[in-house]
Structure 1
């Protein structure tokens, strides 16, 4: 059993350098277009305001994106002198917690835009001359350029979360996602046969360190929900006293419920017998058939216990998403190895909401589960730990410092995730109390 073969568009080592260059260029340009949408849609006051102590001011993210691009593409790859060395500390995410960033002497919006644009112009020159078919590991296969495109898209998702948290009228719009035309006939759960499978990757050229290396895991038979848990199903948990019965909750979760008087997912409220939610400045009725969103790990775990089920482990989730019993190999994506398209998954901020449960039949995995990529990040039961044989690259602070029992793993991406930062091996992690993120879940059970 081996890691997936070279997928279409994955730009493996040894690929045509010009194809690698064009792939990296497209990823960088796509990320910057999204950054500009998220920052140009609000005025300078809203760019510099802190809309929640959980998040940075949008202008911090903007300059941080430019600073990281300078650090890695201009300094580390090209060996150039620092453009603005005096601001490195201001935009070091480990040096200043989010809650304190508004008090820093940050670049003003116009200056931040100019800085990011100047860095980008020089970075594209570096890309144009880089020998992507050789050199060190930062340059080989365009890794550093892919890493920076992923970094920017991850901050774009963070900025989209800030947009969700901000008060005021809507400034972002998007079309509704496709309907789930055959959802009524879907089985509630899918069987995933037991046995070994290949988890992680050693061949995906832009995979980040925590996705590596490929290794064999043996997972017993289990059932997993065909779709993410819906708002309607979650409402049944609420109506049955889910937030008032301690027996469903981990101790830390019950403490969170009591301290913050939680009664529903974040952004939900009860009005005249209906559940309403606020979504990017618009108040609307909670759609019963849409995957539930903005729930913490504690809430997902409590629901699963109430339902007589459990959250899947990370290995179970990845096997359900990638393993093809017919070939014995692990796919790059649930549907195969081809890159995501609008018919396969809800990604890239295309719709600003999850699609109805059961959508994207062409994107289902071999076991029959749907929407494993896109729509909502899915909490798993697993702590964030390294794969066997893990080696930090290119810096410890990306993954290694977060390993341990404090963080839970999320898999699959959300509607806010760009395809460049979403693979069957991609791993996300967060504290179990987090609710502002675009998180949902599906449940599993033993056979």
Structure 2
């Protein structure tokens, strides 16, 4: 169901309330993106478990719809129209990804029908909701932002599943990639001093709150992410064989798994490398940010280069700028466009570094948002004063020293879920995600 199909019945109510307009637009964008991504695949491939790391694709379709039903209908006072026992099948915390293919999943046609029924009910219920409410779920449309971002996060997860898929070829239709001139890597000096971290935006997640100030020493940060060509030098110089560069746990892991290069790279001998990108095998593009590297690989490269990974506070200061101005994005408050960043999944891979000159931060750092998630040195921990909302399982249960923070979003991330303060996290061995990095260095 599109916004256009709802105009006659709900346009006056929705258009009168800015957060409702935004909420509906973002909900529809997420639905349309997932439908377009999965439309080329036959039903058998939607039901198949393509990797133990990922769910069957159809599980995500119904899970997103079930999450929408729970939070935009039941949590806001609308009656349920599915058996609550149905929730258990699509509970991400009850069933690990590698077991979900054994569940009694809705088949694709039924999953899409369920999603359509939920969306129609949400459209009707949205009209009845007040513009202002004391309910924290409705303040600024928070819960609608949470659900819209959740859908787009699953679209990114689906993209990772499609990349892992080998049973059937998948050739996405992609937008043309920019072809900028070569841009040299260099370091940008970031002055020390205070930086205000976090966000009070109505759609920010609990782990981005509360806003707070920290003091940082001055540091140097790479102007661009580390490229595939940069990383290739590390690979071909024996970086994966030399324990000097590796966290001991990371070196034990790559030895046990016989890892000698980033995921999806294909060595051909005589310094010739290919990569598999979805259904295409192509020459390794040396001017793109390297992706599909784990935290351990990023950390090892940084040590080899005589540098280190930035902390997440340093990363956010670089994104905010050192002039004290509060910015939602490195370039300011304007929403991301194609001039600013490679986001939204239209290109199906990173763009060459330097493709988005409008991305530059106030201090001159490029490409902090989009292209690849950037690993940081920081463990995923709560900010002082953190309060779980609206449920512990979004952030709180993941806090600790087992996950590392990623910042900035990737080419597969949606603009609605990308901002200076957004915090992603994953295990340091994860490589199927669209992750890269840039390096930092202390000022001596």
- TM score, norm. by length of structure 2: 0.94
SS at the partner of 2:149?
helix
* 1:296 paired to 2:298: no
* Structural mapping, 1:239-258, within 5 Å: 239-258=236-255
Measure, in 1, the Cα distance between the counterparts of 2:58 and 2:345. 20
Report matched runs for 1:34-433 at 5 Å: 34-167=33-166, 168-181=168-181, 183-184=182-183, 186=184, 188-202=186-200, 204-273=201-270, 274-325=272-323, 328-433=324-429
CA drift at 1:109: 1.0
User: Which segments of 5 or more consecutive residues in structure 1 lack a partner in the other structure?
Assistant: 1-15
Question: Partners of 2:160 and 2:250 in 1: how far apart?
Answer: 22
> What's 2:12 paired with?
none
On the 8 A contact 1:199/1:214 being kept in 2, the answer is yes
State the Cα deviation string for residues 138-185 of structure 1 (Å, max 9, x = none). Answer: 11211111110000000000001001011132331202322233x43x
Per the TM alignment, residue 40 of structure 1 is displaced from its structure 2 partner at its CA by 1.6
Deviations 1:11-63 (A, max 9, x none): xxxxx952211111110010000111122221101000011000000010000
- Aligned 8 A contact 2:190 2:322 in 1: no
Please identify, of 426-435 and 75-84, the stretch whose mean Cα deviation from structure 2 is larger. 75-84
Partners of 1:34 and 1:217 in 2: CA distance: 38
With 169-178 and 31-40 compared, the bigger mean Cα shift is at 169-178
Distance in 2 between residues matched to 1:177 and 1:128, nearest whole Å: 40
Q: Cα RMSD (Å) of the superposition?
A: 1.4
Shift of 1:324: 4.3
Given that 1:334 and 1:365 are in contact with CA atoms closer than 8 Å, whether structure 2 keeps it comes out as: yes
Deviates more, 1:166-175 or 1:192-201: 166-175
Question: Which of 1 and 2 has higher RCO (CA within 8 Å, sep 6+)?
Answer: 1
**Contact (CA 8 Å) 1:324, 1:330: kept in 2 or not?**
no
Contact 2:197-2:214 within 8 A present in 1 as well: yes
Unaligned runs of 5+ in 2: 1-14
Q: Distance in 2 between matches of 1:269 and 1:413?
A: 26
Query: How far 1:187 moved relative to its partner?
Result: 5.4
Matched, 1:21 2:20: yes
The whole-number CA distance in structure 2 between the counterparts of 1:187 and 1:439 is 19
Paired residues, what number? 428
**Aligned partners of 2:359 and 2:366 also within 8 Å:** yes
Q: What is the CA–CA distance in structure 2 between the aligned matches of 1:271 and 1:240, rounded to whole Å?
A: 16
The DSSP-based 3-state class of the residue aligned with 2:275 is: strand
